[in-house]
Amino acid sequence: MEQTNNKAVVWTIAGSDCSGGAGIQADTKTIHNLGAEVCSVITAVTAQNSFGVEAINPMPEDVILSQIKALEQVKPASVIKIGLLANNQQVELVAAQITRFNQEWTTKPYIIYDPVAVASNGGDLTEDDILPTIKERLLPLVDLITPNGKELQKLTGVFAFSWDCLTTAAQKILALGVTATIIKGGHIKIADNKSIDFCTNGQHSYWLSSNRINTENSHGTGCTFASALAALIAQGYALKDAFVIAKAYINQGLDKVKSHQHCQDAIWQGA
């Protein structure tokens, strides 16, 4: 495990959300809150709020690469969490850099990918159809992918409305080359009034069932969940334990979030 000031280092490679609820801002707050050191590589500067996304503004590849190079010299990561990649070139670049880290770094970083296909507030965050490049170039390098129901359907073609569909989709995701997946249950309705999150690496499977929290204020929950997993795994938690803690972390925000707040607001107010 790479250490700086005795803390495990996590990088988040993601877009910024000026409203503070998702993206780099949510990742930074979460990873810091859960005890790891956080560094960021910004892929896009979005303009948005809880009503929708106004602008995306992808960063050019050289800007992304220069952030990676600067960080790498002093703070190599034990876990890298990837969120918004705005176009094919960004996917290619990040995949090439991870391939290089795997060859050059003393310890191969653990890669978590939150496949941000569509923002929870409804705005499309990607410029073009990047799925083929993601499948071909990025997924074989990923240790853990955390799709929601919509992203699951885009990746596998399976709409999860039953346990059978869910487990079939999970097998299809693993067949794309990732080591493990946690499929988030927020948008998947396979049990009345329950949200079921499903984690598997093909050999061991776990699921968590909690009472469904009906809220429209789920913006940023995907970023927060994946970042919580990143912080915990970086500090040595096994995936199944990180899964439980990350789920509890999200729920204590979702339980309290109010209209036009972000889940992040509720987590930090403890209100």
By three-state DSSP, how is residue 182 classified? Answer: strand
Task: Provide the minimum distance between the beta carbon of 73 and ligand PLP in the complex, in angstroms, as a whole number.
Answer: 26
| DSSP H stretches of helix in the chain | 23-33, 61-74, 88-104, 131-133, 149-156, 163-175, 221-234, 239-254, 263-269
End-to-end CA distance of the chain: 35
The single residue among 29, 81, 219, 247 that binds ligand PLP, judged by CB under 6 A, is 219
Residue 211, H or E segment: strand 205-211
Q: Is 223 in the site for ligand PLP (CB under 6 A)?
A: yes
Identify which range of 15-23, 70-78, 199-207, 248-256 contacts ligand PLP by CB under 6 A. 15-23
The interface with ligand PLP within residues 121-180 (CB under 6 A) comprises 121, 125
Q: Is 23 in the site for ligand PLP (CB under 6 A)?
A: yes
Identify which range of 13-21, 129-137, 209-217, 252-260 contacts ligand PLP by CB under 6 A. 13-21
Selection from 225, 220, 265, 255 nearest residue 242 by Cα:
225
The single residue among 2, 9, 15, 91 that binds ligand PLP, judged by CB under 6 A, is 15
Residue whose entry in the numeric block shows the structure tokens 């948005």:
48
Binding-site size for ligand PLP (CB under 6 A) equals: 19
Q: Is 97 in the site for ligand PLP (CB under 6 A)?
A: no
By three-state DSSP, how is residue 138 classified? Answer: helix
Question: Nearer Cβ to ligand PLP, position 76 or 147?
Answer: 147
Q: Is 12 in the site for ligand PLP (CB under 6 A)?
A: no
